[in-house]
Amino acid sequence: MMTENIKVGVSSCLLGNTVRYDGGHKRDRYITDTLSQYFQFVPVCPEVDSGMTVPREAMRLVGEIESPRLLTIRSGIDHTERMEDFCRRKIEELKKEDLCGFIFKSDSPSSGLYRVKVYTPSGMNSVRKGKGLFARAVAETFPLLPLEEEGRLHDAVLRENFIERVFSYRRWKDFLLEGPDYKKLIRFHTRQKLLLLAHSPRHYALLGKLVAGGKGLPPGELLSRYEEGFLEGLKSFATVKKNANVLHHLMGYFKTHLTRDEKAELLEVIKGYSGSLAPLTVPLTLVNHYVRKYDVAYLKGQVYLHPHPAELMLRNHV
Ligand code: SF4
């Protein structure tokens, strides 16, 4: 897969741009130094891009959790309508960007995705249950787009899941660009099977049924139902238990080729992974070795074995 066409939206201050209310930035090295090698970032600062100055008075959300106002803290100026106008315009632009994901700055009343503080009108109390106004607009408009906050990307499990979904979304978009038909969908699905099984056995089964009976459906409906199921399924985390299940499952494709020692060695490393003694990359390195050695065509085509560049080291955690 070409990676230069993987476009990901990002809160501008995370790239080191000095757009914060205090004239500073919140550069995130993982984003600027690592992910930038694979993703083309589309920066958005909803506050500056909607015409606010740098520096500016700090703001916060006030009122209803689902529909708060965006007010400056000291003088109480209401920027809600300005921000909502901006969101409407920006969302139309983003629809043309072909984004595969979005990384938001946490805690911001404009950009925070999870647990943003919403204050009572007196300003005395707050609950961490809100969403920044721009983040909410993106989440509501693009319900299948992988979304995350920068802080959560420092958790190995959340990071792996988010990046895997971004690459998967690009694969799906590339498939759509090829001019999909029923046969091509079967081929696409076949290659995703083990990846889906690792994330959600339920979606693996549902999509298997959908594709098997898909010839009777209008093509547009089949594709949109597949897209929804595929991207929803990948939201579930690929846990140790589910990955171990996939490893045992894929052993079935070459166990008749393996010598007794090879089989014992593979079972041993899977056991080590299941017991959290080794990262997923350990059994997968051995699996990939046997897939090459015994030339197992079905497994060679499985995205699960190479869902993202190995250099990102997303499967190296225990
Ligand atoms: S958090 Fe959002 S609104 Fe605030 S400076 Fe960063 S990009 Fe701009």
Integer angstrom CA distances of residue 298 from 129, 240, 251, 253: 46, 23, 12, 8
Residue-wise pLDDT for 254-273, tens only, equals 989 999 999 999 999 999 99
What is the Å distance from ligand 1's center to 166 Cα?
A: 22
* 108 in contact with ligand 1, CB cutoff 6 A: yes
* 50 in contact with ligand 1, CB cutoff 6 A: no
Pairing outcome for strands 126-130 and 99-104: unpaired
Pocket test for ligand 1, best of 42, 111, 114 (most atoms within 8 A of CB): 111
The reply to whether 106 and 141 lie within a common domain is yes
For residue 3, the model assigns a pLDDT of 54
Separation CA 63–CA 86 (nearest Å): 21
The reply to whether 259 and 235 lie within a common domain is yes
Residue 25, domain member (yes or no): yes
pTM score, whole prediction = 0.96
* 200 in contact with ligand 1, CB cutoff 6 A: no
- For the chain, list the strands marked E by DSSP: 7-11, 40-44, 59-63, 68-72, 99-104, 116-119, 126-130, 147-149
Phi-psi region of 23 (alpha: psi -120 to 50; beta: other; left: phi over 0): left
The last residue of a domain, from among 154, 182, 197: 154
**The domain containing residue 124 runs over which residues?**
7-154
* 45 in contact with ligand 1, CB cutoff 6 A: yes
- Give me the residue label for tokens 């919403």: 118
CB atoms within 10 A of CB 267: 16
Residues of the chain predicted below pLDDT 50: none
Residue-wise pLDDT for 97-134, tens only, equals 999 999 999 999 999 999 999 999 998 999 999 999 99
Q: How many domains does the chain have?
A: 2
Which amino acid, 280? L
